[in-house]
Structure 1
Amino acid sequence: MLLPALGGALPDQREAIRVGDQTASWEQIRDAAAGIAGRIAGAPAVAVHATASLDTVVAIVGGLMAGVPVVPVPADAGPVELAHILTDSGAALLLAQTPPPVPLPIPVEPVDRARPGPSTPIAEPPGTATALILYTSGTTGAPKGVLLTRDAIGYGLDALAEAWAWTPDDTLAHGLPLYHVHGLVLGVLGALRVGCRLVHTGRPHPDRYATAGGTLLFGVPTVWSRIAADPVSARALAPARLLVSGSAPLPVPVFDRLRELTGHRPVERYGMTETLITVSTRVDGERRPGHVGLPLRGIATRLVDDAGQPVPEDGESIGELQVRGPTLFAGYLGMPEATEASHAPGGWFRTGDVATVGPDGQHRIVGRASIDLIKSGGYRIGAGEVENMLLAHPGVREAAVVGVPHPELGQEIVAYVVGDGVAAQALIDFVAGRLSWHKRPRQVHLVDALPRNAMGKVQKRQLLP
C-alpha cells in the first residue's frame, strides 16, 4: 500500500495534518480523500491546483486512492504554462477551490471534503501504475511530464526513512510548495507513508518554522539562509532531531551558521524529478559541509567524462553524475525519444549534473553540466566552489557564478554578488588568495538581487549575456 497511514487501523493521533490554520485527523483525511476518489475513479488523469492548503492534500490523496495519475499544478503557474500542463497531461478536470483567473481547456471542480466515498473501497492499483505526473521546469523547452510510479515513490520514501531514522514518532514541519518532489513527495506523501504528524507552515518563514514543533524539518537553501540570519528563530530549532536541506547545494557558510545557532549539522540530499532522492547523508553518518552523502539503498551512481568514460572517484575529478535504481521515473509523457536520450546503455540516467565522488563515497554536487561546469583556459572549474568562497567573505550575502564566452579562455568566470560595502576588485583578490589563481572571477557585478524561481533556486541563465 502506497499510503499505509490511511489504511487499516488509523494511527491514534487527534491531529494528523496541519496546513496553515487548517487541521485534520487521519480519519478525516481518509474519508475526504475517499469522496474525491469516488468522483474521479476511471479518469485518465486529474490535475490539482496545488496551493498550500488542506484541500490540496485531500485532492492529491484522493487521486492516489482512485489509482488516477495526479498532475499537481504550480499555484503560481502563468496562463501559457498552465494551458500546456493541462493539455499535455490529458487531465480530465482540474480540482481547485479557487480556480486560476484565466480561460482553461478543461472543466474545474471544487474540492468537496464533505462528499461521501464509494460504498465499496477502490482496489489498490499495481505498483507499476503511474501515481504522479510532475512537470519539469522547462529550462530546455516546454515542461515535460515525468511519470512516477507508485513503486518508485514507495521505495524512495522507505529508503529515506531508513537513512534518516524517520518514524511515526516524528513531527515533520516545512513550508515548501506542494507540487514537486521536495514539498509533495517527501513533505506530504512521506508523512502519510511513515505515519508521522505533518505541520505545513503555509509559507517558509523563519518564525513559522520556529513555532511548528517539528522534530524533522525540510527546507531549501534559501529558507535555511533566512533562518540562519534570524538567530531567535534558529535557536528555537535546537530541540529538533534533524534539519534537512535539498533542491540546491547548501552554502557552506549557511551550514556553519546553522550548526552554531541550532547545534545541528544539517543533512543534505540529492535528487531530481526524474530520479526522486538518490543520495543522502545518513542520520548516523558524517555530515560534511558541501556534500550530499552516499547513495541510498538500492541506488548505484557513477561519474563519466564527455566521452562516457569513467572519472576517478578521488574527490577532485569532475564528471557527469549518472544514477540507476528503483526510484527512476517511467519516462516522459508522450516523449519516447526524449526518454531514450536521457538514458545511457545499461539503464543509467543522465542527470545532467556534474559532481565529484571521494574515495569514501561522499558525493559533492558541482551543479548543472550546462551552466555550472566552467571550462576556462583548459581547466574544469565548478561554479559552486567559487560561490562558496565568495560567500565566505563577511560582506557577501548572495553569490552566483557563471561562465561567459571568452575569445582566449573559452569561458571566463563571472560573479554576480549581493553584498554590503564590498568592492568588485576586493572580491576578486579575496578568491584569488584562497583558491587556485585560475578559479578567481575575472569580473564581479554587484547587484541588488539574484533572479530566483519559486523554489528559491538562482536562475543563472538570466545572468548570461
Structure 2
Amino acid sequence: MDLLPALSGRYPDRHDAIRVGPDETSWESLLGAATAVADRIAGAPAVAVQAQPALETVIAVVAGLLAGVPVVPVPPDAGPMERDHLLSDSGAPMLLAAGTLPGPVPVPVVPVDATARSATRYPEPAGTGTALILYTSGTTGAPKGVLLTRDAIAADLDALAQLWDWTAGDTLAHGLPLYHVHGLVLGVLGALRTGSRLVHTGRPTAAAYAQAGGSLYFGVPTVWSRVCQEPPAARQLAGARLLVSGSAALPAPVFERLTELTGHRPVERYGMTETLITVSARAGGPTWPGVVGKPVPGIETRLAGERGEPVPADGESIGELQVRGATLFAGYLNLPEATANAYTEDGWFRTGDVATIDADGVHRIVGRSSTDLIKSGGYRIGAGEVENALLAHPEVREAAVIGAPHDDLGQEIVAYVVAGTVSAGELIDFVANQLAVHKRPRTVHLVESLPRNAMGKVQKRRLTGAP
C-alpha cells in the first residue's frame, strides 16, 4: 500500500504544498530531500528524530518512511533522562535534527539538510512493518514504545478522510507538536495521504490560526480556548470548512463560544497512541459538547464493568471503553507481557478510559478510569460531568475534578478551579443546583493555574489529593 500518495504524483503539486513556520516546499522537493536522508539511514533498525516544529522534522520522518526504518519522534523539550531512554529502548543508532543540539547526546546527531536532493527510488515497505515508535507518557513507569504499522496508519487516515470529507482540495492548518498522533500522524501524514496542503503554524496562537487560511483546522482544548479569547482572530476562522478538537475533552463553554464566534460547531474525536483515532463525530453531522461520535470505519467498541461484565448502551451507564479493529498498534516494543495485559482474553484492547454509549452508538468520554471515575458513597460519578458544571459558572475559567480518599465515602469529590471573584462555597452550591446533590464537590481549591502537558491535558496526578 502506498502510504503517502502525495509523494508519488497522484495529486497536482504546488510550490507551497507544505509550510512549517516560515519554510515551505513542494511535494517533489520534499521527496528529494527526504530521499537524500533515506540514503543515509537505510538499513538502520530505527531512527530517532528531534521533533521540533520545523520543516526538517517532516523531511526526517518521511525519510524513515521511505527507507522502511521505524521513526522514533523525540520531544524537543525532553530532558536528558527521557531522551536517553527513548534512544536506548528503541535501539536508534542516530538522532536526526535540524541542527546541533546542546549538551552530550549518547548517539551521533545527524543534521537534516533541507536543500539536499537524491533521485534514489525505494520500494514501498510492507504494510505490516513498523512505521512509527511513539512513546507513551510514562505515568505508570518508564515510557513504553508503541509500535504503529503502516497499515494501521493508512486505515485510520482513510477512515477520517471519509468522515471529515477531507480531500486534496483542503488546506489543513494546525500548530500541534510533531511527536504525537494528533500533530504528526493526523497533522502531517494525513496531509500527505489525502493530498491536502499543510500549513503548520509553529506556535498555535490565535493570530497564527487566523492567518493560516485553512479550510480544516486541528486543535486541542487549550488552543481553542485561547482562540476564543481573541474574538477578532476567531471570527477569521468563519471561512473554514471544519474545526476538529481532540487529545482531551473540549469544555462545553469553549465549545459554545467557538461556535458563536466562528459559526462552526467543532467536531470532537477520541483516540490513544495505541489505537490511533477510533471514535469521531462526522462532518456535517450533529455535534454536542463532550460527545465524540461513533466508531470510525473498521473499529468496534464496547463497554465493560469492573468485573468485565457487559455495560448497557443506554447513554447513562458508565464502563471502561474497549476497542478492536484495523487501527490498533502491533504491541509495546520489547514488552510482550505488557502487550498481553493490554487486551482482554477475547481480544479487545482495554483503553482505561470510562465512557457511555447511547442506543444510537454515540460515545461520550467520561475520563480515565484511574482519575476520572469517582466512587463516592456508592455512586459512580464521572469527573467530566462535574467539571462541565463548574465551567458553566461565568467566573470559572478552568476546572479539574478528582476523587480523594475519604474514610466514610470511599472517595470524596475535590475540585481545583481557576476563577475570578467567586468563593468555594458558592461553587459547591452552584454545582449542587445543577446536578444531583451527591455529585457536588465536597472541597473546592481556588488555584492560579492547573498543571498541563504539551497537548493541553490536565495532569491530575500532580494535583494534591489525587489517588
What TM-score, normalized by structure 1, do the two folds share?
A: 0.99
| 1:68-96 per-position Cα deviation (integer Å, ceiling 9, x unaligned) | 00000001001110010011011010001
| 1:214-266 per-position Cα deviation (integer Å, ceiling 9, x unaligned) | 00000000001111121111111000000000000001111111111111000
| Distance in 2 separating the partners of 1:117 and 1:343 | 43
Q: Does structure 2 conserve the Cα–Cα contact (< 8 Å) formed by 1:89 and 1:333? A: yes
Residue of structure 2 equivalent to 1:24: 25
Q: Are 2:34 and 1:15 equivalent residues in the alignment? A: no
Residue of structure 2 equivalent to 1:107: 108
Q: Secondary structure at the match of 1:292?
A: strand
| Distance in 2 separating the partners of 1:9 and 1:409 | 61
| Distance in 2 separating the partners of 1:89 and 1:234 | 41
| 1:415-442 per-position Cα deviation (integer Å, ceiling 9, x unaligned) | 0000111100000000001100000000
In the TM superposition, residue 102 of structure 1 has moved relative to its aligned partner by 2.8
Residue of structure 2 equivalent to 1:62: 63
Q: Mapping of 1:167-178 within 5 angstroms? A: 167-178=167-178
Deviates more, 1:234-243 or 1:106-115: 106-115
Residue of structure 2 equivalent to 1:328: 328
Q: Does structure 1 conserve the Cα–Cα contact (< 8 Å) formed by 2:301 and 2:323? A: yes
Q: Does structure 1 conserve the Cα–Cα contact (< 8 Å) formed by 2:367 and 2:384? A: yes
Residue of structure 2 equivalent to 1:2: 3
Residue of structure 2 equivalent to 1:234: 234
| Distance in 1 separating the partners of 2:317 and 2:426 | 29
Q: Does structure 1 conserve the Cα–Cα contact (< 8 Å) formed by 2:304 and 2:321? A: yes
In the TM superposition, residue 289 of structure 1 has moved relative to its aligned partner by 1.6
Q: Does structure 2 conserve the Cα–Cα contact (< 8 Å) formed by 1:144 and 1:332? A: yes
| 1:147-166 per-position Cα deviation (integer Å, ceiling 9, x unaligned) | 00000000000000000000
Q: Secondary structure at the match of 2:292?
A: coil
Q: Does structure 2 conserve the Cα–Cα contact (< 8 Å) formed by 1:38 and 1:118? A: no
Residue of structure 1 equivalent to 2:147: 147
Q: Does structure 2 conserve the Cα–Cα contact (< 8 Å) formed by 1:270 and 1:280? A: yes
Q: Does structure 2 conserve the Cα–Cα contact (< 8 Å) formed by 1:49 and 1:74? A: yes
| Distance in 2 separating the partners of 1:464 and 1:321 | 27
| 1:267-320 per-position Cα deviation (integer Å, ceiling 9, x unaligned) | 000000000000000113211221000000110000000100100111111000
CA RMSD of aligned residues (A): 0.9
Q: Secondary structure at the match of 1:255?
A: helix
Q: Does structure 1 conserve the Cα–Cα contact (< 8 Å) formed by 2:320 and 2:355? A: yes
Q: Secondary structure at the match of 1:133?
A: strand
| AA partner of residue 6 (structure 1) | L
| AA partner of residue 122 (structure 1) | Y
Residue of structure 2 equivalent to 1:36: 37
| AA partner of residue 380 (structure 2) | R
| Distance in 1 separating the partners of 2:207 and 2:13 | 29
Q: Secondary structure at the match of 2:291?
A: coil
In the TM superposition, residue 118 of structure 1 has moved relative to its aligned partner by 5.2
In the TM superposition, residue 98 of structure 1 has moved relative to its aligned partner by 3.0
Q: Does structure 2 conserve the Cα–Cα contact (< 8 Å) formed by 1:373 and 1:383? A: yes
Residue of structure 2 equivalent to 1:199: 199
Q: Does structure 2 conserve the Cα–Cα contact (< 8 Å) formed by 1:10 and 1:27? A: no
Q: Secondary structure at the match of 1:188?
A: helix
Residue of structure 2 equivalent to 1:93: 94
Q: Does structure 1 conserve the Cα–Cα contact (< 8 Å) formed by 2:11 and 2:195? A: no
| 1:165-206 per-position Cα deviation (integer Å, ceiling 9, x unaligned) | 000000000000000100000000000000010000001100
| Distance in 1 separating the partners of 2:11 and 2:252 | 42
Q: Secondary structure at the match of 1:44?
A: coil
Structure 1 runs of 4+ off > 4 angstroms?
none
Q: Does structure 2 conserve the Cα–Cα contact (< 8 Å) formed by 1:146 and 1:274? A: yes
| Distance in 2 separating the partners of 1:423 and 1:230 | 27
| AA partner of residue 413 (structure 1) | I
Q: Secondary structure at the match of 1:218?
A: strand
Residue of structure 1 equivalent to 2:447: 447
| AA partner of residue 116 (structure 1) | R
- Cα distance, 1:338–1:99 mapped onto 2, change above 3 Å: farther
In the TM superposition, residue 384 of structure 1 has moved relative to its aligned partner by 0.3
Q: Does structure 2 conserve the Cα–Cα contact (< 8 Å) formed by 1:35 and 1:114? A: no
Residue of structure 1 equivalent to 2:396: 396
| Distance in 1 separating the partners of 2:219 and 2:391 | 19
Residue of structure 1 equivalent to 2:76: 75
Residue of structure 2 equivalent to 1:252: 252
Residue of structure 2 equivalent to 1:360: 360
Residue of structure 1 equivalent to 2:268: 268
| Distance in 2 separating the partners of 1:81 and 1:312 | 41
How many aligned positions are there?
Answer: 464
Residue of structure 1 equivalent to 2:126: 126
- Unpaired runs of 5+ residues, structure 1, are none
| Distance in 2 separating the partners of 1:199 and 1:265 | 22
In the TM superposition, residue 14 of structure 1 has moved relative to its aligned partner by 2.3
| Distance in 2 separating the partners of 1:175 and 1:47 | 21
In the TM superposition, residue 464 of structure 1 has moved relative to its aligned partner by 3.2
Q: Does structure 2 conserve the Cα–Cα contact (< 8 Å) formed by 1:18 and 1:24? A: yes
| Distance in 2 separating the partners of 1:233 and 1:422 | 29
In the TM superposition, residue 9 of structure 1 has moved relative to its aligned partner by 4.8
| 1:324-366 per-position Cα deviation (integer Å, ceiling 9, x unaligned) | 0000000000000000000012221000000000111110000
| Distance in 1 separating the partners of 2:114 and 2:212 | 25
- Cα distance, 1:26–1:62 mapped onto 2, change above 3 Å: same
| Distance in 1 separating the partners of 2:141 and 2:464 | 17
| AA partner of residue 22 (structure 1) | D
| AA partner of residue 170 (structure 2) | D
| Distance in 1 separating the partners of 2:100 and 2:438 | 52
- Unpaired runs of 5+ residues, structure 2, are none
Q: Secondary structure at the match of 1:139?
A: coil
Q: Secondary structure at the match of 2:321?
A: strand
| Distance in 1 separating the partners of 2:114 and 2:393 | 52
Q: Mapping of 1:348-427 within 5 angstroms? A: 348-427=348-427
| Distance in 2 separating the partners of 1:114 and 1:372 | 48
Q: Does structure 2 conserve the Cα–Cα contact (< 8 Å) formed by 1:259 and 1:266? A: yes
Residue of structure 1 equivalent to 2:434: 434
Identity %: 70
| Distance in 2 separating the partners of 1:272 and 1:96 | 26
| Distance in 1 separating the partners of 2:118 and 2:212 | 32
Q: Does structure 2 conserve the Cα–Cα contact (< 8 Å) formed by 1:152 and 1:327? A: yes
| Distance in 2 separating the partners of 1:419 and 1:180 | 31
| Distance in 2 separating the partners of 1:425 and 1:98 | 54
| AA partner of residue 333 (structure 2) | L
| Distance in 2 separating the partners of 1:138 and 1:279 | 24
